[in-house]
Structure 1
Amino acid sequence: MPALIGPVQIVSVGGGVVTFGDTFYVSPKSGSKTAAGSGSFNTGNFINTNTGISGTNTLDPDINDQNNVANA
């Protein structure tokens, strides 16, 4: 059933999907990149990480890594 939507202002949507009216297929797309050294994402009460010398290469010569095409 068609829906008539009045004036709407959406300031921001973080990690969600906004739909109005009939929706047949929703396919949200996003891309992100995270660089972290060894033992960076450990969580818990008692963490003991012995990594010695560690380095993370954050140099990224690519212009586009993963394009979100047709995300309109």
Structure 2
Amino acid sequence: MPAKVGAVKVVNISSSSIFNIGDVYSMSPNSTAKTYAGGGSFNTGDGIRVNLGNAKTYINDSDQVDMSNN
């Protein structure tokens, strides 16, 4: 069904967002990321204590190329 839209002001759209006005069948945003994290990096909650001593995260990415975002 056609839509009538009034004035629209777009201030900011992030890199993995979609902005659409009007009819659409399918929308699928794509984004890629590579994250390196050591032990205890993604803990969430209240009062968490992580004691890792002298911990290090070593990265070896020999090909330097990963899946593209097309």
Provide the alpha-carbon RMSD of the alignment.
2.9
User: How far 1:41 sits from its partner (Å)?
Assistant: 1.9
User: How far 1:64 sits from its partner (Å)?
Assistant: 2.5
Answer yes or no: is 1:64 the counterpart of 2:37.
no
TM-score using structure 2 length: 0.61
Question: Any stretches of 5+ residues in structure 1 without a counterpart?
Answer: none
Deviation per CA, 1:14-53, whole angstroms, max 9, x where unpaired?
A: 2431113221111111101111211122222211223234
TM-score using structure 1 length: 0.60
Structure 1 residue runs of 4+, over 6 Å off? none
Question: Any stretches of 5+ residues in structure 2 without a counterpart?
Answer: none
